[in-house]
Structure 1
Amino acid sequence: MSTRHLTLQDRFRRAGWAHAHDDVLRKWIHGAVAEVLVGHRSKEELLPVVADFQDFIEANSDIYMGFHQMFEEQPETSVVAAVKDYKTLCKVFNKLIQEAPFYGDIGPPFYMVLSGCMNTQGGFTTFLNEKLNKHFKEMWGVWAEYLESPASRSVLTGEDGGWFNPTALTALVENFDGLRFEQIFACDPAAEYYGYKSWDDFFVRTFQPGIRTVQFPDNPNIINAACESELYHLATNVQERDQFWIKGEPYSLLDMLNQDELARDFVGGTVFQGFLSVTGYHRWHAPVTGTIVKIVEVPGTYFAQSPATLGENVSDNPYLGGLAFITSLTTRQLIFIEADDSRIGLMCFMSVGMTEVSTCEATVKVGQHVNRGDELGMFHFGGSTHCLVFREETRLQFFDNANKPGSMIAVRGAIAGILDN
């Protein structure tokens, strides 16, 4: 395994996307399975949306076979092997869809449950199915309704597993130079739940005035960061079509940009991709000043893992080592911006869902003019990687703080300079 991959694996864990160690995840999985098979949830009826999902599996022979295959191919020694079949999976889903994520060391819960299945050929083939992904979307829609309800605030406490316990608060402010949570984010620490109306309200929290302002606002030669993220990959001379399913993670523009008529404008250009922390800030901001010319919603997959990583040790979270791959398949949103600066011209901000809810919400409209740093939209729980796509004609010099995998990128910070053509 490469040094780059090891470095990023550590950062994925710190960002909340991977479990701390196998014993933590194994204990959590066993506990969840025991709760739904023999515990207080063993007699619980499946919610209609989960029952529909199970019926879909059983009514479609190819899907039914695929779910059997993925569990058969999952090693018995797998850290998530306690989930042994699709019926147990549905019961665990039924539990999780009625809960808000707690703060802890396991990573996103649905991804953790499915990580073993995703790492098999049976899982890869099955999770590409369009109808199956529509059922996933329906389930995440029900979960999203719960996460937007007051009931989801049960985890917004200072108790173990709560998002305001001392360990969690330390993680939430890690990159803010010693500032306290209430100094960074809009909230009321004297109020119950810090004043947040729901789990989702907390997840998409906003900054206090003066936090993460635009760096070098008066310098017209700057590209600013769209998201609070860590650099995953920086690629140049990106091809119109490439084999995005092989090792080396080439980007394939036509696939990334959903065969859009504007995709060919970016052939030979640059892709800057970063991933967000579960504990971080989840709103997006304009990297350039310009006009929104097009917004495209792209339905896609939720749990398809790169075939180049199938069969790797599931404890190393191979899915996370193929984030370039998912830019071509996963549910995502494209925001095309025509920059006022002709040296930039057309560019694209691309929000990409990683597992779970994967809701990408634009807060701008076509025809709207935005300045560098203005809000473009937000991820709700599950969305977690993004790309900036530039044309070949746009000559950029990326700064040292934004050109190495794992680099911490502050939203609205300067990431590149624009060079004259």
Structure 2
Amino acid sequence: MSRSSTTLTEHFRKGGWLPASQKVLEAWLKGMVEEVRPRKGTRSETVLLPAVQDFKDFITNDGTMYMGFRQMFEGAKPPYVTDYETLVLLLNKIVQEAPAYGDIGPPVYMIINQAMNTQGGFTTFLSTKLNEHFKKMFDVWADFLSSPASRHVLNDKPRGWLTPEAIKAMEEHFEPGLGFADIFVCDPKAPHYGFTSWDHFFNRSFRPNIRTLEFPDNPNIINGACESKLYNVARDVNEFDQFWIKGEPYSLSHMLNHDSEYAEQFVGGTVFQGFLEVTGYHRWHSPATGTIKKIVEVPGTYFAQSPALLGEQDNPYLRSLAFITAITTRAIIFIESDNPLIGLMCFIAIGMTEISTCEVTVKAGQRINRGDQLGMFHFGGSSHVLLFRPETRIQFFDGYSAEGDHVKVRAAIAGVE
């Protein structure tokens, strides 16, 4: 599959990962930068949150970080961010607000994607210590997004998530005639539709009759784990590969965090990767009936894209989703299916920018049925992989085999024989 197709780019844009246009992005960036920069004639300085101040101090006091952040902004011109001091001010603002609905993608990704697309940015954003500082800031943001104060965007005002435009976007992939309240658990008569926080809204649940399991009596069916868009299907994957080159090969050992117990069993197997929409459903469900054998939570990067795409303008980060399976924050869940034709398989929740919080809600040793919940994303994070062994003879059905295909959670997406 080509990762630069116009069709896939439009799916990313429609899914909320890209701005509506370059003009819209530049106008938003200009307004954001003007809002946080000190006005001429004033000496007052913005008081930074402790985690943001620590982030700034780390960059300033660490020679390698200081050099990297200077290099990544070289040549940048307004309205783009042109220095790390402005970046810090913007981060301080963003982590105290809930994301608004509209024509802009995830806000931190929007302000940092130009820097990501440089050699200085690539090298710097791989730093373990830097990613630990990002996590501290994003943990502060997560606390805010879980608080009642974060409901300030859950309304029908401009850029609110309960405007007709937003509601329509969240209803799009469901049966005609079904409204938001028919699809999701909520109370339209209550303030903010009854959601207690932004995070509660983001992780909204389906009503019982929505996305029911397809072919529940057929054990040879694989069901969709996430409501998502298909990004890639790869077969005969290698244990080790050059995942940083063009062509986006998958490197199994890196994806599975060098798991000595299970990784070897998937060599030569099949990868099915999709990405979630910002406006979509963010919980994960089991594609098979069986037992949770092992759960591995891996800390990783937030803003590193493939070095093979540095300097390219055709959405290089979003064309790096295979690359990030090996380096980003992720949760790995090994499932032993009751069906020997499936056997051991793996679900991987993969972080994409921002908070990238992957919350697993099952435990090792737990019995699960097809369609049962495995966990959820919190704001940020939103790619996933289904991984099958070479012995699993899997065939993906029509409608679930081409890039951009909409994958319904719990739908029958493949069969084994």
Show the 5 A alignment for 1:204-243: 204-243=203-242
Cα distance in 2 for residues equivalent to 1:286 and 1:64: 44
Task: Confirm or deny that 1:202 pairs with 2:214.
Answer: no
Equivalent residue of 1:400, what SS? coil
1:17-416 aligned at under 5 Å gives the runs: 17-38=17-38, 43-74=45-76, 76=77, 81-178=79-176, 179-261=178-260, 262-313=262-313, 316-416=314-414
Letter of the structure 2 residue corresponding to residue 340 of structure 1: D
**After TM superposition, where is structure 1 displaced by more than 2 Å over at least 4 residues in a row?**
1-5, 38-44
Q: Secondary structure at the match of 2:293?
A: strand
Identity of aligned residues (%): 62
Hey, what's the Cα distance between the residues in 1 that align with 2:108 and 2:386?
28
Question: Shift in Å at residue 4 of structure 1?
Answer: 5.3
What do residues 83-130 of structure 1 show as CA deviations (whole Å, max 9, x unaligned)? Answer: 110001000000001000000111000000000000000000000000
1:342 to partner: Cα distance: 1.0
Q: Which runs of 5+ in 1 are unaligned?
A: none
Contact 1:73 1:120 in 2 (8 A): no
Q: Give the TM-score taking structure 2 as reference length.
A: 0.97
What is the CA distance between 1:311 and its match in structure 2? 0.3
**DSSP-derived class of the 1:383 partner:** coil
Distance 1:7 1:317 in 2: 13
Deviation of the 1:344 alpha carbon: 1.0
Partner SS state of residue 271, structure 2: strand
1:35, 1:42 within 8 Å by CA — same for their partners in 2?
no
Contact 2:334 2:346 in 1 (8 A): yes
Deviation at 1:59, TM superposition (A): 1.1
3-state SS in 1 of match to 2:103: coil
Which residue identity lines up with residue 97 of structure 2 in the other structure? E
Distance 1:81 1:124 in 2: 22
1:38 is displaced (CA, Å) by 3.6
| Residue type of the alignment partner of 1:8 | L
Uncovered stretches (5+) of structure 2, i.e. residues with no partner: none
Is the 8 Å Cα contact of residues 225 and 415 (structure 1) preserved in structure 2? yes
Distance 2:336 2:86 in 1: 49
Query: In the TM superposition, what is the alpha-carbon distance from 1:6 to its structure 2 partner?
Result: 1.4
Question: Shift of residue 5 of structure 1?
Answer: 2.2
**8 Å contact kept, 2:394–2:414:** yes
Query: How far apart, CA to CA, are the structure 1 residues paired with 2:239 and 2:162?
Result: 46
> Can you list the C-alpha shifts for 1:42-93, whole angstroms capped at 9, x where unaligned?
742011000000000011101100000000054x3xxx75311000100000
TM-score by length of 1: 0.96
Instruction: Determine the C-alpha separation between the residues in 1 that align with 2:365 and 2:44.
Output: 53
Q: Do the aligned partners of residues 4 and 310 (structure 1) sit closer, same or farther apart at CA in structure 2, a change above 3 Å counting?
A: closer
- CA–CA distance in 1 between the matches of 2:3 and 2:90? 36
Structure 1 contact 304–326 (Cα < 8 Å) conserved:
yes
Tell me, in whole angstroms, the C-alpha distance in 2 between the residues paired with 1:297 and 1:16: 26
Opposite residue 154 of structure 2, the aligned amino acid is: L
Asked whether the equivalents of residues 272 and 388 of structure 1 are also in contact (C-alpha less than 8 Å), the reply is yes
Is the deviation greater in 223-232 or in 65-74? 65-74
Query: 1:217 & 1:230 partners in 2: Cα distance?
Result: 23
Paired residue total: 413
| CA RMSD, Structure 1 to Structure 2 (Å) | 1.5
**What amino acid sits opposite 1:184 in the alignment?**
I
Q: Could you tell me how far apart the structure 1 residues matched to 2:80 and 2:186 are? A: 40
**Deviation for aligned residue 1:317:** 2.1
**Over residues 133-187 of structure 1, what are the superposed CA-to-partner deviations in whole Å (9 max), with x where a residue is unaligned?**
0000000000000000000000000011000001101101110122100000000
Tell me, yes or no, if the aligned pair for 2:3 and 2:319 is still in contact at 8 Å.
no
**What do the CA deviations read for 1:179-216 (whole angstroms, capped 9, x no partner)?**
10000000000000000000000000000111000001
1:36/1:42 contact within 8 Å kept: no
Cα distance in 2, alignment partners of residues 170 and 360 from structure 1: 27
- Relative to structure 1, the CA distance from residue 3 to residue 228 in structure 2 (aligned partners, 3 Å threshold; closer, same or farther) is closer
Q: Is the 1:35–1:41 contact (alpha carbons within 8 Å) kept by the matching residues of 2? A: no
